[in-house]
């Protein structure tokens, strides 16, 4: 007979859900993980992994274009779309098989089907009700949002369709200069597409430090990406050959396709949450610091919880909830220590507060910041990247924010994350020796500069 009572019943098998399932099983709980599509969710199948595979191919395209500048004879001949997709799918498939193996090896019961919360302790899938003896975890993720009156379809795409275009367009308009917008702009530009970004706010990546948005905009303009900031869309029309986007002011824009990347919303509708008493706010599940909803025994993790919509936050939420249910009293997951990486060219990576946020928190006169330019960093010069490391500190206090622009910034942010999370002072970090020549050295130099001991910077 099919087992229908488990310690934990988890609704959603994406980053948050499968992490809760695996950590729960590790802690000795019996676990049912309900997933209607594929284990691994958006991140593995239509988000982080496939987009970064395409962005890697974009980097290879640019490297081949620039090879002559370092004395290597090579040339860029074009993009072989079927081969590109085969490479991407191969990466995803390998990770998917690995994940399926891991989940099976932990004795997690994977329930395939659409689940619905039918009571504070039960999830129904088809005709079967799965009961939770200890807790239910809501991990249903997020979906692409559009603008009122603008539906996805035809030439109006979300990032999911944009990942698998049957052919590369000659031109594209991207609505939204946030994370998805700039990653696709970067990718498509490297593939030879004429790209225009339309962003309503005054700068690109407005959730990041202002200096990062400005640097990215300069780099994009140099790469031939058209950037329109502070611009609102009035209407969108599709015709046989493309889309026409009318703006509140100025000439309309035309392109073959329109990518709408104006944010992702929580996926919480129609699954019985509110009927059971779970409170939603703008669709997000309301939780306390321990990720408990108002209904005892029901937790929520990942993108359904308001805050940073990042897979690694979801993983950590999942681990946290399993440990919390086991009574291990884990430390709550603070968004402020979670690194953020945008995989455009150049990359933007950050952790902690922006300068503006620090000024708001500590008062403008208490905040110090420095920018160390990668022009002074040997390895950055060798690989031909420009950008900076910016540090923000509470005067006489610890470093509260680190912001990096440049190639491989996403790898450099790991050290910065330790500095911010451990509330280190510049003087604690400055004596640490960084390998030479490495891009990491730029962080070392920035900390030296903040401690008043810079060698490789003017001033």
Residues that bind ligand NAI (CB under 6 A): 147, 175-181, 183, 198-201, 206, 232-233, 261-264, 309-310, 341-343
From the list 312, 317, 403, 436, the catalytic residue is 436
Q: Please report how close the Cβ of residue 100 comes to ligand NAI at its closest, in angstroms.
A: 24
The full length of the chain comes to: 459
Which residues make beta-bridge pairs with 44?
Answer: none
Distance CA 107, CA 112 (A): 15
Alpha helices by DSSP H, listed for 260-354, are 311-325
Residue with the closest Cβ to ligand NAI?
178
Can you give the C-alpha Rg of the chain in angstroms?
23
| DSSP string for 229-263 | ES--EEEEEE-SS-EEEEESSS--EEESEEEE-S-
3-state secondary structure string, 116-149? Answer: EEEECCEEEECCEEEEEEEEEEECCCEEECCCCC
The residues, ordered by sequence, that sit 6+ positions from 90 with a Cβ below 8 Å of its Cβ are: none
Burial class (CB in 10 A: 0-12, 13-18, 19+), 260: buried
Of the pair 226, 424, the CB lying nearest ligand NAI is at 226
- Give how far the C-alpha of residue 377 lies from the chain's centroid of Cα atoms, to the nearest Å: 27
User: In the annotation, is 436 catalytic?
Assistant: yes
How many other CB atoms are there within 10 angstroms of residue 278's CB atom? 23
**Core vs surface per residue 6-35: b (16+ CB within 10 A) or e:** bbbbbbbbbbbbbbbbbbbbebebbbbbbb
Q: Please report how close the Cβ of residue 187 comes to ligand NAI at its closest, in angstroms.
A: 11
Which residues make beta-bridge pairs with 369?
Answer: 392
The residues, ordered by sequence, that sit 6+ positions from 409 with a Cβ below 8 Å of its Cβ are: 341, 346, 347, 348, 349, 387
Of the pair 147, 424, the CB lying nearest ligand NAI is at 147
Of the pair 17, 314, the CB lying nearest ligand NAI is at 314
Of the pair 351, 448, the CB lying nearest ligand NAI is at 351
Alpha helices by DSSP H, listed for 36-148, are 41-46, 48-66, 81-105
Q: What angle do CA 54, 60, 66 make, to 5 degrees?
A: 140
Hey, what's the torsion of the CAs at 302, 264, 110, 289, to 10 degrees?
A: 20
What distance separates the 2 farthest-apart alpha carbons in the chain?
A: 75
The pair of structure tokens assigned to 70 is 């370092």
Of the pair 262, 287, the CB lying nearest ligand NAI is at 262
Alpha helices by DSSP H, listed for 326-384, are 355-362, 378-383
- Residues carrying an active site annotation: 436
């Amino acid at each position: 007979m099919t087992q229908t009572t488990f310690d934990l019943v988890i609704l959603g098998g994406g980053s948050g859900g499968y992490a809760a399932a695996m950590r729960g099983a590790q802690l000795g709980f019996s676990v049912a993980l309900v997933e209607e599509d594929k284990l691994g969710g958006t991140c593995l199948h239509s988000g982080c992994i496939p987009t970064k595979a395409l962005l890697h191919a974009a980097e290879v395209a640019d490297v081949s274009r620039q090879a002559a500048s370092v004395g290597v004879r090579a040339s860029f001949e074009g993009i072989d779309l079927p081969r590109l997709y085969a490479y991407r799918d191969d990466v995803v498939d390998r990770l998917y098989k690995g994940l399926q193996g891991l989940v099976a090896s932990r004795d997690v019961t994977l329930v395939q089907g659409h689940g619905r919360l039918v009571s504070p302790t039960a999830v129904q899938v088809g005709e079967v009700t799965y009961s939770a003896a200890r807790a239910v975890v809501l991990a249903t993720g997020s979906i692409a949002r559009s603008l009122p009156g603008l539906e996805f379809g035809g030439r109006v795409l979300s990032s999911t369709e944009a990942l698998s275009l049957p052919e590369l367009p000659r031109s594209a308009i991207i609505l939204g200069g946030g994370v998805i917008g700039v990653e696709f702009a970067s990718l498509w530009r490297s593939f030879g597409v004429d790209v225009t970004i339309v962003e309503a706010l005054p700068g690109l990546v407005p959730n990041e430090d202002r200096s990062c948005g400005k640097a990215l905009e300069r780099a994009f303009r140099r790469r031939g990406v058209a950037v329109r900031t502070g611009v609102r869309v009035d209407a969108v029309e599709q015709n046989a050959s493309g889309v026409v986007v009318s703006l509140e002011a100025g000439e309309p824009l035309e392109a073959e396709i329109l990518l709408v990347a104006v944010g992702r919303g929580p996926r919480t509708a129609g699954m019985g949450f509110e009927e059971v008493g779970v409170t939603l706010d703008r669709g997000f599940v309301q939780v306390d610091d321990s990720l408990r909803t108002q209904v005892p025994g029901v937790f929520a993790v990942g993108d359904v919880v308001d805050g940073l919509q990042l897979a690694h936050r979801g993983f950590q939420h999942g681990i946290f909830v399993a440990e919390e249910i086991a009574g291990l009293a884990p430390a709550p997951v603070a968004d402020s220590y979670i690194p953020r990486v945008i995989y455009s060219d150049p990359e933007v990576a950050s952790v902690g507060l922006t300068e503006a946020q620090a000024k708001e928190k500590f008062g403008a006169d208490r905040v110090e910041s420095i920018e160390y330019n990668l022009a002074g960093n040997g390895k950055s010069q060798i690989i031909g990247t420009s950008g900076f490391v910016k540090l923000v500190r509470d005067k006489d206090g610890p470093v509260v924010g680190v912001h990096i622009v440049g190639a491989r910034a996403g790898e450099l942010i790991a050290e910065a994350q330790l500095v911010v999370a451990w509330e280190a002072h510049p003087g604690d970090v400055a004596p640490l020796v960084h390998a030479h020549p490495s891009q990491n050295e730029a962080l070392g130099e920035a900390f030296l500069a903040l401690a008043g001991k810079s060698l490789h910077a003017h001033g």
